Amino acid sequence: MKRVLIIVLVVLSFKTHAQLKEGVWRGELIIHDSLSLPFNFDVKGSVLTVRNGEERIDAPYEKQGDSVYIHMPVFNTVISAAIFPGLDKVIVGQFVNTTRKVPYPITFRAEAGASYRFTDRPEKPAGNITGRWRAKFEEEDPGNEIAVGVFNQEGARVTGTFLTTSGDYRFLEGELAGTHLSLSAFDGSHAFLFTAEYVNGKLLNGHFFSGNHGHEMWSAERDENVKLADERSFTSLKPGYSKVDFSFPDESGKMISLSDPQFKDKAIIIQIMGTWCPNCMDETKYLSNWFNTEAPADVAIIGLNYERRMDTTYVNAAIRRLKDRYAIKYPILFAGNSDREAAAKTLPMIDRIAGFPTTIYIDKKGNVREIHTGFNGPATGKLFEEYKVNFKALIEELRK
């Protein structure tokens, strides 16, 4: 991994007009001491585009004097950085995620013209890890510690993700240099770094860093047949219940209930989500596009939003930002705190909320037919295509 440059910031006695150099950049988040989590982005005009594998995330930035503020979409996070005369190809500052109770600011730096991610000229890989892997994360909840690694390797470059019971780790990108595997992703909210050693056909001594506050050990063995538990097996209705009901406010303060006339005689999708949750964003993007272009008139969607912060002004702004980003035309309601136990209490007819997103499918008679935990997003490739087919088949069943 390229050694992080140490830059001494000099306080200027005059102002300059900060401007990012157009083209490719290599960014770094310094998450533990000198440990670097790299990601790539392009700059064109006043827009910065983050790249993770096939994913592209456009983020506008603004210039104020000698400073640059990069506003990441949806998640209400920001990178603030400084540009100095003579160093127009380097910016230094910090990334702050304001959705968290404790912001955990992370040191950020970036350099223009660098197109590589981890190493400029990676060592010849010791093997090829393309395929499915049974991965074990040591600090996961008992019963949920097994994940599925899905990777594709071309030369030294590796892309892929990990599937878990609550969703996938989205688009990871990196390399297998010699025996050393490195993968990273930065989506504007979550910053993930995975490392491991490829030894005798196994991935050993793995480390997973989430931002600058989370760390787990992991390992994996190749297993093309590995699968996770059925997504329908984690949450169910309590005995004696066949329906759900609720009443929560939308971003304007209007109370909306499942028993309102607008939902009568309709199949309904209840999306339990949070604006802080990347997997929820993947599901929201798909559902909104489907609802706007394909959904029959007798199908409705309602989003139940659970937040880390309870400030109503903040929450309503987050919902509006989400709806604008994904052109959402169905209601998103503020349902409460994102703590799983607290969230489950707002829907007393279900036994638990095992993860975000959780999706409840209701038929036209108001009966709950299925409850799904997690979401296999576009980073999962084939699984995402299978999800779309199964989703449409399930909707047709609900409409009967």
Compute the distance between CA of residue 193 and CA of residue 36 in angstroms, rounded to an integer. Answer: 9
Two tokens at 155?
Answer: 């030369």
Give me the helix-helix angle, 312-326 and 278-293, nearest 10°: 50
> Going by C-beta distance under 8 Å and a sequence separation of 6 or more, which residues neighbour residue 116?
26
Q: Point out the residues of the chain with pLDDT beneath 50.
A: 1-17
> What is the tens place of the pLDDT at every residue in 28-61?
999 987 799 999 999 999 999 999 999 999 999 9
Its sign, for the CA torsion 249, 331, 348, 357, is negative
Digit-coded pLDDT (tens) for 250-269 = 999 999 999 999 999 999 99
- Determine the pLDDT at residue 193: 97
Q: What CA–CA distance (Å, rounded) separates 376 from 335?
A: 24
Q: Which two tokens stand for residue 273?
A: 């989500």
Write down the H helix ranges in the chain: 278-293, 312-326, 340-345, 382-399
Asked whether 171 and 40 are in contact (CB, 8 A), the reply is no
- Domains, the chain: 23-112 (2.40.160.90), 131-222 (2.40.128.120), 247-399 (3.40.30.10)
Task: Please write down the HEC assignment for all residues of 191-217.
Answer: EEEEEEEEECCEEEEEEEEECCCEEEE
Residue 190, H or E segment? none
The pLDDT score that the predictor gives to residue 190 is: 86
CB atoms within 10 A of CB 223: 14
